[in-house]
Amino acid sequence: MKLLTIENAKKFLQSGEIYRIGYNALNQGEFLYEHKDIRNYDYSLWNQEKLNQEEIKKDFVLHGKMNFFDKGEEEWMDTENRLSSIHGEPFRKWNGEPLFILDDYESFEDIQNVDMNNIF
């Protein structure tokens, strides 16, 4: 299991590959994520005058598709700004939960024992 950071996302995630991503802080579960690329966070709907232009250069999103198969979902949806890394922090789900790349033998239940998850 790896905490999903901008550093390891650039290193490990390959376009077209599908990964199991887990979370277990406020909610628990996992989803499939088909990686396309990493993009800068889209602040087009925000008031640009109040944003620190240097700081937002450190804000990224994972661009691709996701599927909550563990909840019985069949359709894939675009990630849009749902999976973000703000100011260099680890990637988080839209509600702030840290995300982890799961290995084949791991489940989201294993995340509860990870220190970074307990900080949340």
Q: What is the pLDDT of residues 36-90, one digit of tens each?
A: 999 988 887 777 777 777 778 888 999 999 998 877 777 899 998 889 998 888 8
pLDDT greater than 70 at residue 98: yes
Q: Between residues 103 and 95, which one has the greater pLDDT?
A: 103
pLDDT category at 102 given cuts 50, 70, 90 is very high
Counted domains in the chain = 1
- Report the distance separating Cα 16 and Cα 14, nearest Å: 6
Give the HSE-up count for residue 54: Cα atoms under 13 Å, Cβ half-sphere.
0
Structure tokens at 38: 């990493």
Q: What is the pTM of this model?
A: 0.85
Helix (H) or strand (E) holding 119: helix 115-119
Compute the average pLDDT of residues 7-26.
93
- Report the distance separating Cα 118 and Cα 20, nearest Å: 21
- Residue range(s) defining the domain that contains residue 31: 2-119
Residue 56: phi and psi, rounded to 5, are: -70, -10
Pair type for strands 2-3 and 18-24: unpaired
